[in-house]
Structures are given as C-alpha cells and as structure tokens.
Amino acid sequence: MVFFFLLLVLSALETTASQSIGVCYGRVANNLPPAKEVIDLYKAYNIGIMRIYDPDPSTIEALRGSNIQLVVGIPNEDLQSLATAAAATNWVQRNIQNYSQDVKFRYIVVGNEIDPNDALAQFVLPAMQNIYAALASANLQSQIKVSTAIQLSLLGSSYPPSSGAFSPSSSSYITPIVRFLANNGAPLLANVYTYFSYISDTTNIDLSYALFTSSTIVVRDGKYEYHNLFDASLGALYAALEKVGAPNLEVVVSESGWPSYGGVAATVDNARVYYRNLMDHVAHGTPNRPNQPIETYLFAMFDENQKGPAATERHFGLFTPDKHHKYNN
C-alpha cells in the first residue's frame, strides 16, 4: 500500500495543462545527485514537469530531448538588471533560445515571493515585460508564458474566503501584474502551504483541516462549504483577484508541500497524508471554481540540507539526496 502511495505521489499524470502535476527541484544543498541522475529520476517516475529556481545550465542541458516540461525561475537578485530591455534579451537568448529546439519550456517565473515593500518589487513588472518582449522577438511568446510566483501573505484579509482581498500595499503591486497576465493569457503562480498556516495558529486551525482529512464542513461562506484549508486559501485568493478585476485569471499552485521532520506536526505520516490528498484533490477544483483542475507543483524533489533557518525547511523532499524514497518504508 505504501509503495502504491509513492507511485501516486510521484506520478505526474499530465492530461491537460490544467491537470498537470509537477515537482519542484530546489538545489539549496551540497549533497544532491548530478543533474543527469535527477532527470533520470523524473523520467523513472513519469514526472512530466520540473520547476527550477534559476537557469542552471547543467539541469537545462540534461533536459535536452527528455520531454519533461520546464518551469524556469529568474532569481530575485537578477530582477533589477532585467528591468533593462537589453539585459532581458540577452537572458532569453542565453537561457531559452539556446535550448528551445529540444527543451520544452513552460513558464518563466520572474521572481519568487517578492514582498511588495521590498525595494526589488518595483522591478518585477518591468522585468516581466522585457522578458515577454524578448520572447516575442524570438516568436516564443505563445509557447512560453511569463509570470511571477507570489505568497499568500499578500492578502490583507482571507477569512471568510469571500472576503479575500490584497492588502493596500500589495494591491498597488499586484494589480498591474495581474493585468499583464490577463492580457497575455498567462496564469498567476502562487505558493500555497497549509502547513505554515497551521503552525501559525494551532489553536484555531485543526490539523485535519490542513491535511484534507476533516470529515465535516469547517467553514460555511455563503453558498460555499469548505472542508480543507487549501480550498479556503485559494478561495480567498480568487476573491482578491476578482476585486482587482481578474475574476477568471488562472492560478497555478507553484509550490505546496509538508515537511517530514523538524517541527510541529512535521512527520512522515502527516507528509504522506498531505501529498496523497493534495494529488487527489487538485484534480477536482475548489468550491468556488469546481471541476477546474488546478495545475500544482509538489515541493520538493529532495531534502535540501542548506535551507533554513527552521529545521523543517530542510525536510520537504519526496526523496533524500541519495535518491531514497522517503515514504517507501
């Protein structure tokens, strides 16, 4: 049964774009296998999409001819330079065009979890626009979408979900980005972690609500009924997007996971339950967007021993660095 679960978790059954399941390949570690072995592991478990956080040449090179789709990130520290058109053109030529004949790029993610109050926030949209223009010059803008990945802390209110709204500082940051995405047919990427919401308020949030295991309705919000925190979190984000004029914008869950060690409720059993239920659940949509499968990326492929400061940050992997299945025991 455990082996069947492992196959379920690690099988990215890609039937349509909206039903895709990918796995994030973070590399904040000094003990991970070589890129070719990582690609072979993705192939072995039929994982059809990989998200990386920078255009690592060894990883992209190893993906040539693999049919694995790639979501490639632009690190936050590079945003300011890419707000210059020439730099963005050079970035696309070097990291995308050089490989585009035999690497299947899916998204370019311009920045990850940028705080609207951070000095870098002013460069996100210009960098997105410049990357898009460079793709268009290479006739790749329809094939590769440009987006950014947000964290749900941009919401100033989230309970009940229908009251979801971006905070004032976040709204001025995200609204023009959302408009850019809608105009170009690109989704908004959002990192969604019920684990962190749970541990921040264990008094009011039941573990079963965070793990998709509640047998009862936990939140009634008008005509919508929420059994789990994942749906409620997305419901709040959908409501916030509606309030800034984007009621139909697709949201891709660009990270979601549960740690297996290192903190409150961080156990192998809880992680196993979370991943299993997440995989089952995203195929069916949410109460306010039913029957709309959610493209979702499991975080992460490996434990990363140089992450922190919290110990849990080092234990989100589906595999240990020696390629051992964490849930196959």
Beta strands in 136-198 (DSSP E): 145-151, 155-157, 165-166, 188-191
Q: Which of 14, 61, 113, 242 is catalytic?
A: 113
Q: Which of 37, 61, 250, 255 is catalytic?
A: 255
Orientation angle between helical segments 268-281 and 229-243, nearest 10 degrees? 50
Q: Residue 193 and residue 103: Cα distance in Å, rounded?
A: 30
Q: Residue 293 and residue 182: Cα distance in Å, rounded?
A: 19
Per the annotation, the verdict on 255 as an active-site residue is: yes
Which H or E run contains 279? helix 268-281
Q: Residue 288 and residue 286: Cα distance in Å, rounded?
A: 6
Q: Are 165 and 239 within 8 A, CB to CB?
A: yes
Q: Residue 64 and residue 57: Cα distance in Å, rounded?
A: 11
Q: Residue 98 and residue 92: Cα distance in Å, rounded?
A: 8
Per the annotation, the verdict on 113 as an active-site residue is: yes
Token pair for 275: 């991943």
Q: Are 141 and 124 within 8 A, CB to CB?
A: no
The DSSP bridge pattern shows strands 155-157 and 69-74 to be unpaired
Token pair for 225: 């009924």
The DSSP bridge pattern shows strands 21-24 and 49-52 to be parallel
Q: Please confirm whether the linkage preceding 300 is cis (ω < 30° from 0).
A: yes
Q: Annotated active-site positions, please?
A: 113, 255
